[in-house]
């Protein structure tokens, strides 16, 4: 058998002995979906198989002939090799084999009479919580064997848990048996999809997901109270988490007395007031609703009506600064800077009590476990970039899951600090720079606006900030007038909300010595689902799996599954083919507020239709090709607006790091269904000739004539939302006005 060793001999081969079934080690494990175990023989590929788990697999397949399958060049820990040598029969293959299908036909003999061939991955260096700890080269060969294949996911709560969880009480591992993939259908994308789905089931079984966000925040504030703080850049004040806890508890009692409504609106920027207000509303047993004060009047009124709120927490200076906001009567406003001084004595009392009392008693006294799990925790509204704002109800389960998913993947060292300047009505500003630092114990440096780059750079340097989250639009502001030395402390810069141009990433890295990493998320997913991270340092005795890939939005966070469907037919397609992205996980919301019709359009059996078009590569990196709303169907062909925009920027020689100068919009066309219209701030006086010239330049670049703009519309500026995203709705309005 070419490069397949069955019953091998020699110093590096697995020695054979009579198969034995060892007793289980004394550690807690959990096994999900054992009913999926086939009675027929199969190749078993676990996403992860550490030494401690080997005996578990003997128990899972107790009474069946087990053959351990290893790759001849893989690196194994001495303990693993020793175990395999003592436990039974073994077979060896080479990932470099030129004829894997032939090798697979010979390996099929091990599947006779219900036998199982279990692949044992070698040592790898990978990110915590990764669903797959196997190199792509090995996976490709295993799939090319064309054997009936059973994926088994291994979720390890103890190594990727919240800082407030008691690790000794958690399972060491939860195994989830996936669905058997028939030999005729096994491919790398099919295996990836099945493993992600099994991993999602394992992750979603974690007990902390049944808990309360408010209770978790109390535990975080209590645990990290004296060691961590919020540093408010608007007035250079510092407030320990312990003092924040006391102020929030007292304010919560005030809020309870003020309104019987289940939700309370908050109109505040990032800062100590915004943090205390959000905590207080949760501690009052109510839902915080952070309103987008940059939206239009009609959108804001719609949000207020949908949320059914009668009290608004804000501050005097902010009311004066945002005078355009449709403020309700003063009787409905709770001015936080007026209220807190009147409660000073009670805050001092609670500051003392919260130091003495255990977190469990504080949680009991505030009755915080009453609202938990799938119940509503916070309400955010979509930006309305492509229509009326929709209320996204995020549950305690959703938010807790995403904090753990994001935090465990980052795996930040002690003493880390994060800059919070994204608006609190922005999903990243809410979860990642509000709840995440409090629960995980990270210093939070805040500033009210993401636009004041000079001041933000000063704060990064002053407080030695390590983590900076932004959008490409806001990132462009740092390319001028900022001293590179001010960013010396940064270890991670992550962008989201819109596509990160590689030219901007290159320019930022060249200037500041750190490359921005692109991530991905949506309000409906709490929000983070993917993130690129700097590659881990290679270790001599293991294969280092990649953590980043240019042009992608990164790998899936732990516990998230993915499917791809054809945009036209909605039928499933392989993960490596372009189509509509569907996501599933404990961080995915259950539906829009009071809008079952819109909810049904995007949710099917807990799978969320993102509306984005993309694909997954062999290493599990997700590529976003654009939103389905930013595609035009022209003569039966799907035309991505963002690809057309990138080509136009190139041929016109526009600066991709500067503010947006163009936007592509689809308009109705009688002959071809749709046509491309270009909004431009750089249009010349002869629009018709400009359009002809642009068409020739695009054709020379290899663009199809169907993709070229039919008309150019001059505009004063391209509409942009406060988050930095393109305001699609306003762009379409401009297009209609000029059609």
605 vs 637: CA distance, rounded Å: 30
Report residue 491 as tokens: 């270890």
Q: How far apart (Å, rounded) are the C-alpha atoms in residues 562 and 195?
A: 10
Predicted pLDDT at 610:
94
pTM: 0.87
* Alpha carbon distance 203, 209 (integer Å): 9
Mean pLDDT of the chain: 89
Query: Taking the domains of the chain in order of start, what are their residue ranges?
Result: 5-205, 213-532+550-616, 635-737
Tokens 């009590």 identify what position?
353
Is a pLDDT exceeding 80 seen at residue 388?
A: no
Positive or negative torsion for Cα 576, 626, 507, 406? negative
What's the CATH class of domain 635-737?
A: alpha beta
Q: How many CA atoms lie within 13 A of 453 on its CB side?
A: 15
pLDDT class of 27 with cuts at 50, 70, 90? low
Q: How many other C-beta atoms can be found within 10 angstroms of the C-beta atom of residue 62?
A: 9
Q: What per-residue confidence (pLDDT) applies to 727? A: 82
* pLDDT tens digits, 621-645: 999 987 766 777 676 677 778 888 8
**Whether residue 170 has pLDDT greater than 60:** yes
d(CA 422, CA 444): 12
Q: Look up tokens 């397609």; give the residue.
A: 573
Bridge-based pairing state of the strands 124-125 and 29-32: unpaired
In CATH, which of 3.40.50.12780, 3.40.50.2300, 2.120.10.30, 3.30.1360.120 is domain 213-532+550-616? 3.40.50.12780
Beta-carbon contacts of 578 under 8 Å, excluding residues fewer than 6 positions away, are 564, 613, 614, 615, 625
Higher pLDDT, 330 or 6: 330
**Separation of alpha carbons 5 and 7, rounded Å:** 6
Q: Highest mean pLDDT range out of 13-27, 293-307, 440-454, 658-672?
A: 440-454
Average pLDDT over residues 176-195: 96
- Kindly report which listed range (98-107, 189-198, 484-493) carries the lowest average pLDDT score: 98-107
- Asked if the model's pLDDT at residue 171 lies above 80, the reply is yes
pLDDT digits (tens, 9 = 90+) for 462-520: 999 999 999 888 898 899 889 999 999 999 999 988 888 888 999 999 999 999 999 99
Bridge-based pairing state of the strands 229-232 and 237-240: antiparallel
Whether the Cβ atoms of residue 739 and residue 667 lie closer than 8 Å to each other: yes
Is the bond into 527 cis (omega within 30 degrees of 0)? yes
């Amino acid at each position: 058998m070419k490069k397949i060793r069955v019953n091998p001999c020699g110093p590096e081969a697995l020695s054979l002995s009579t198969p034995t079934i060892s007793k289980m080690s004394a550690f807690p494990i959990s096994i999900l979906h054992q009913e999926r175990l086939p009675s027929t023989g199969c190749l078993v590929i676990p996403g992860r198989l550490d030494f401690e788990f080997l005996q578990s697999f003997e128990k899972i397949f107790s009474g069946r002939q087990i053959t351990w399958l290893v790759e001849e060049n893989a690196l194994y820990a001495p303990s693993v090799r020793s175990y395999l040598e003592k436990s039974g029969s073994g077979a060896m293959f080479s990932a470099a084999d030129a004829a894997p299908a032939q090798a697979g036909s010979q390996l099929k003999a091990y599947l006779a009479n219900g036998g199982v061939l279990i692949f044992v991955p070698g040592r790898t260096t990978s990110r915590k919580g990764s669903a797959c700890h196997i190199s792509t080269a090995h996976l490709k060969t295993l799939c090319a064997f064309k054997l009936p294949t059973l994926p088994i996911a291994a979720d390890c709560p103890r190594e990727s848990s919240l800082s407030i969880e008691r690790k000794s009480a958690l399972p060491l591992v939860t195994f989830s048996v996936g669905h058997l993939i028939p030999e005729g259908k096994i491919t790398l994308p099919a295996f990836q999809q099945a493993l992600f789905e099994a991993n999602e089931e394992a992750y979603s079984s974690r007990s902390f997901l049944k808990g309360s966000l408010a209770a978790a925040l109390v535990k975080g504030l209590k645990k990290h109270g004296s060691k961590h703080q919020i540093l408010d850049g608007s007035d250079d004040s510092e407030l320990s988490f312990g003092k924040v806890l006391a102020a929030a508890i007292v304010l919560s009692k005030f809020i309870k007395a003020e309104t019987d409504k289940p939700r309370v609106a908050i109109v505040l920027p990032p800062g100590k007031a915004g943090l205390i207000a959000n905590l207080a509303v949760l501690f009052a047993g109510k839902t915080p609703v952070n309103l987008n004060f940059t939206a239009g009047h009609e959108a804001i009124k719609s949000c207020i009506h949908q949320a059914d709120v009668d009290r608004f927490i804000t501050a005097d200076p902010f009311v004066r600064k945002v005078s355009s906001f449709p403020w309700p009567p003063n009787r409905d406003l709770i001015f936080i800077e007026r209220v807190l001084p009147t409660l000073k004595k009670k805050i001092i009392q609670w500051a003392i009590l919260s130091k003495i009392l255990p977190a469990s008693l504080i949680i009991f006294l505030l009755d915080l476990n009453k609202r938990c799990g799938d119940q509503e925790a916070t309400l955010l509204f979509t930006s309305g970039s492509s229509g009326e704002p929709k209320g996204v109800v995020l549950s305690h389960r959703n938010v807790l899951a995403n904090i753990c998913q994001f935090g465990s993947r980052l795996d930040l060292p002690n003493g880390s600090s994060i800059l919070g300047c994204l608006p609190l009505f922005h999903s990243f500003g809410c979860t990642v720079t509000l709840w995440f630092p409090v629960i995980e114990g990270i210093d939070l440096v805040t500033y009210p606006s993401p636009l004041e780059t000079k001041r933000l750079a000063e704060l990064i340097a002053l407080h030695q900030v390590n983590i900076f989250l932004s959008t490409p639009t806001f990132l462009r502001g740092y390319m001028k007038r900022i001293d590179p030395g001010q960013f010396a402390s940064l270890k991670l810069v992550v962008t989201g909300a819109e596509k990160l141009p590689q030219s901007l990433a290159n320019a930022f890295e060249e200037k500041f010595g750190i490359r921005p990493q692109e991530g991905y998320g949506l309000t409906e997913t709490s929000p983070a689902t993917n993130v690129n991270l700097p590659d881990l340092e290679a270790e001599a005795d293991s294969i280092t799996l990649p953590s980043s890939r240019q042009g992608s939005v990164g790998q899936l966070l732990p516990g998230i599954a993915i499917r791809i469907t054809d945009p036209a037919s909605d039928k499933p397609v392989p993960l490596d083919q372009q189509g509509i992205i569907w996501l599933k996980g404990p961080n995915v919301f259950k539906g829009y507020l009071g809008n079952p019709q819109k909810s049904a359009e995007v949710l099917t059996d807990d799978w969320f239709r993102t509306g984005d078009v993309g694909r997954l590569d062999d290493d599990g990196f997700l590529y976003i090709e654009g939103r389905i709303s930013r595609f035009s169907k022209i003569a039966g062909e799907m035309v991505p607006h963002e690809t057309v925009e990138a080509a136009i920027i190139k041929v016109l020689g526009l600066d991709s790091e500067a503010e947006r100068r163009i936007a592509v919009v689809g308009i109705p066309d009688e002959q071809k269904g749709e046509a491309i219209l270009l909004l431009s701030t750089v249009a010349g006086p002869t629009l018709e000739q400009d359009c002809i010239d642009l068409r020739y330049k695009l054709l020379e670049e290899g663009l199809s004539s169907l993709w070229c703009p039919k008309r150019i519309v001059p505009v004063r500026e391209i509409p942009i939302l406060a988050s930095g995203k393109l305001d699609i709705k306003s762009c379409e309005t401009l297009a209609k006005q000029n059609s």
